[in-house]
Amino acid sequence: MLAPLSVLSSLGASSMASTDAGKVAVISASGESGEIATVDVNKGKMLPMDKLLALIGGESSWDSAAKTLNLTAHVQSVEFADETLKINCSFPAAYSVVYWASSKKLIVDIASSKLKSEAREVYIGSQGILRARLGNQTDCARIVLDLEKDIPYKVISDPVTSQIQIKVSESLPKPKVTITQQPKSGRIPFEITGIKIDARDGDNFDLVMATSAKGSASVAYGVSPPEIKVNLPGGTLENSQYVGSSPVLKDVIIDKSTPGKPTVTLQLKRIMVYSLNIENSQMVLSVRPPDRSGGKFSDKVIVIDPGHGGNQKGACCSGVMEKDVNVKIADELASALHAQGAKVILTRTSDVAMGLAARPEMALNCSADFFISIHCNSNGTLNSASGIETYYHKYEPSPMALAYAVHMGVCNSTGMCDRRPRSDSSLYGSGLAVLRRLENTGLPGILIECGYLNTASDRNKLLSSEYRKKLAAGIVEGLKSYVEGK
Ligand SMILES: [Zn+2]
């Protein structure tokens, strides 16, 4: 593949004449330099793309259907200095910056880019900033800055650049916007004057609703089928039109049939996660694929954690100890996952006691994709409760999506009473210790209570391998739907 010398300027590079007439000296945006032999075509000088990209950094692929050469920049360095996140790319790229208030993450997606180095984390640990995490998404590189608290930020660099700079500093003015994950519903009247879908990189998109005043909204979330419904109490809608589209969007249903309670429902082609920002004149629902979704299921590493062990017996009813049942369920799940080609690691295989933090720590240390803690329930009152509950940590979007997907799979396959996916903050203010360690790590973890040991019918099921097989099949189905989308 040959390209004219003019390709250099679009790659942020420049050239100089070489002492060798058959070569040209190239200096890349990031300062790499070297000489490349040119090829004469119709008296014009052309550069071989492979040699050029080898010098400046990057990759190319030929899309024969579209007859276009796709260029992928390399993210060469990520650092935090002078209160500024600095990301250097081998050539200019477009990027988007989104702040997830619920989990205090600043997410930078760099279009048509890829991380080259093996490094996946840059420790910062100062000024309220914990770390930058680095990862490759389907067609962009993603840098996630984990914050300890809300800190204002400002994008300093140009929209397309090889040196992305985002200042993150308490000295910046506080944003006027109020960002809440679950806003309180109110009845302040407001008019929705426009609805549009803004596609961003890959499958990411924003639902932007222009409002006459600061509105209120709540979100209902579903995974089967995948949809996100925005309830707009107090809102009025002139018409039910919207503009824009996204490849991951099946349809947008705008319903104004109940006066004062319009809804906008995004019907999705795959499981997505969201964050909602309500500003004075607009509401923005940012939608993206969940963490660790995409790719092949067989490439995923899943840590299964049979709860309790050793002297920590868990619930004990009629001589049945939870710690033993958990291991049996975990074994069943491990073989069901192996059958799908996934890699499985168990936190314990024998009857040993283990600390709560050590379990998720193991998942982080072995770079797992998912953490699933297996438990059985008991409320201490004979035969008083039945069914399955699935817990996620606080309101972290990806663990919530995983809990919904797995819970749906398990309830479908076992036919057990659906006691809903729940946030672990419904149990304790700071959530479950076994899930807390995974907070802000990008590794989705959940805890499943597979039935009530104090209820005879549930206990008999938990003791049967047939029920445990159904449980395992349901968890696998949920995990697969999270990874593969539907
Ligand atoms: Zn337990």
* Mean pLDDT confidence for 366-393: 92
DSSP state of 348: -
Fold of 297-484: Aminopeptidase (3.40.630)
Q: What pLDDT band is residue 486 in, cutting at 50, 70 and 90? A: low
Q: Average of pLDDT values for 251-260?
A: 91
Of 139 and 208, which is predicted with more confidence? 208
pLDDT at 103: 81
Instruction: Calculate the average pLDDT of the chain.
Output: 89
For residues 79 and 288, the model is more confident at 288
Write the pLDDT tens digit of every residue in 98-129.
888 778 889 999 988 998 777 777 888 778 88
pLDDT of residue 319: 93
CA of 199 to the centre of ligand 1 (A): 43
Q: Which tens digits make up the pLDDT trace of 235-250?
A: 998 878 899 999 999 9
More confident residue, 136 or 436: 436
Ion ligand 1 residue ranges (Cβ < 5 Å): 307, 314, 375
Q: Are 424 and 393 in contact (CB under 8 A)?
A: yes
Confidence of residue 12 (pLDDT cuts 50, 70, 90): confident
At residue 182, the pLDDT reads 41
What's residue 137's pLDDT? 80
344 Cα–ligand 1 center, Å: 21
184-188: long-range pairs with CB below 8 Å, 24+: 184/216, 185/216, 185/217, 185/218, 185/231, 185/233, 186/216, 186/233, 186/234, 187/216, 187/233, 187/234, 187/260, 188/213, 188/214, 188/215, 188/216, 188/234
What confidence score (pLDDT) does residue 176 get?
A: 52
Sole residue written with tokens 């004149």: 281
State the Cα–Cα distance between residues 214 and 280, nearest whole angstrom.
4
| Ligand 1 centroid to residue 308 C-alpha, Å | 6
Q: Where are the domains of the chain?
A: 2-56, 70-168, 178-288, 297-484
Centroid of ligand 1 to alpha carbon of 293 (angstroms): 28
For the ranges 265-274, 349-358, 376-385, the lowest mean pLDDT is seen at 376-385
Residue 288: pLDDT above 60?
A: yes
Centre of ligand 1 from the C-alpha of residue 378, in Å: 8
Rounded to two decimals, the pTM is 0.63
Nearest to 242 by CA among 201, 295, 205: 205
Q: In what helix (H) or strand (E) does residue 361 lie, and over which residues does it extend?
A: helix 358-365
> What is the Å distance from ligand 1's center to 254 Cα?
43
**With pLDDT > 70 as the criterion, what percentage of the chain qualifies?**
97
Ligand 1 centroid to 374 CA: how many Å?
A: 8
**How far is ligand 1, taken at its centre, from the CA of residue 361, in Å?**
18
Domains 70-168 and 178-288 belong to one CATH topology:
yes
pLDDT at 428: 82
| Active-site residue, from 322, 396, 439, 449 | 449
429 pLDDT band, cuts 50/70/90, is: confident
Is 79 one of the catalytic residues?
no
**pLDDT tens column, 173-214:** 876 544 444 444 445 688 998 999 999 888 999 999 999 888
Q: Which CATH number fits domain 70-168: 2.170.190.11, 1.20.1560.10, 2.60.40.3500, 1.20.144.10?
A: 2.60.40.3500
List, for residues 457-480, the tens digit of each pLDDT value: 999 999 999 999 999 999 999 999
What is residue 187's predicted lDDT score, i.e. its pLDDT? 55
Domain 178-288: which CATH class?
Answer: mainly beta
pLDDT at position 181 is 42
